[in-house]
Structure 1
């Protein structure tokens, strides 16, 4: 389950850009075999007076926290590829904003502490996970 929590000041994303970014994020995870419904993207608009960088309010900022549970990166090189992919996906949406402060981080959490609709997701790469991906829904296994 990738959970992308996007905190941003007003005017950074249009509703259509939010939809496009969320769809691109889901596309990527689907391409690596995860069910699309594993991917949740939340946008939280934050007033500039409530968005501080270095102790000071910022008029244009984006801070993204990404939680990975379904998969983890086994080594430094794969973590670097993941960070590079994320940067590449975000740049088209963010570079057009002059003076924008933006950053992201990824946390990797134990899948043992994760359930969807009260069901522990099936093991990675299993027939049950492929069924979940094909049906884009949970089911007992």
Structure 2
């Protein structure tokens, strides 16, 4: 499961912007082999008085990403994923005067369940079945 928590100052995203960014994120993970329902994106608009960068208030987007379904081995793989995330975000966030950043945590898949199911191993036939059905089920 990738979980994207997007915290931002007001007025940066319309509903259409949020929908498009969420779909762009989900599409990328689907192309990498994950079921679409693994991808969760949340938006939390935060009052400007509650976001400071370098001790100052400014228009900001801060993205916290948890990767659980897939992990990268080595610095090269992790850097490739960071660039991949950067490419997705830059399309939506590369704006004059906007401070934006992200980080990615990798959490053990052993600490993850969906609707009470332990997800199948990555790239397994069971995961492919989940992907096709776009929902968790017995395997």
Q: Could you tell me how far apart the structure 2 residues matched to 1:78 and 1:92 are?
A: 22
Structure 1 residue runs without a partner (length 5+): none
User: Runs of at least 4 residues of structure 1 off by over 6 A?
Assistant: none
SS in 1 for 2:82: helix
Find the counterpart in structure 2 of residue 107 from structure 1: 105
Q: Could you tell me how far apart the structure 1 residues matched to 2:18 and 2:113 are?
A: 26
Find the counterpart in structure 1 of residue 76 from structure 2: 77
Find the counterpart in structure 1 of residue 38 from structure 2: 38
Q: Could you tell me how far apart the structure 2 residues matched to 1:76 and 1:138 are?
A: 32
Aligned Cα root-mean-square deviation (Å): 0.9
Q: Could you tell me how far apart the structure 2 residues matched to 1:39 and 1:104 are?
A: 17
Please report the TM-score for the alignment, with normalisation by the length of structure 2.
Answer: 0.97
Q: Could you tell me how far apart the structure 2 residues matched to 1:101 and 1:137 are?
A: 36
Find the counterpart in structure 2 of residue 66 from structure 1: 65
Q: Could you tell me how far apart the structure 1 residues matched to 2:105 and 2:81 are?
A: 12
SS in 2 for 1:103: strand
Q: Could you tell me how far apart the structure 2 residues matched to 1:92 and 1:30 are?
A: 18
Cα deviations by residue, 1:71-117 (Å, 9 ceiling, x for unpaired): 00111111111111111111121123x21111000000000000000
Structure 2 residue runs without a partner (length 5+): none
Q: Could you tell me how far apart the structure 2 residues matched to 1:92 and 1:99 are?
A: 15
Q: Could you tell me how far apart the structure 1 residues matched to 2:132 and 2:44 are?
A: 30
Cα deviations by residue, 1:32-75 (Å, 9 ceiling, x for unpaired): 111000000000001110111123322x0000000000000111
Find the counterpart in structure 1 of residue 11 from structure 2: 11
Is the CA contact (8 Å cut-off) linking 1:13 and 1:93 kept in structure 2? no
Q: Could you tell me how far apart the structure 1 residues matched to 2:123 and 2:133 are?
A: 15
Find the counterpart in structure 2 of residue 120 from structure 1: 118
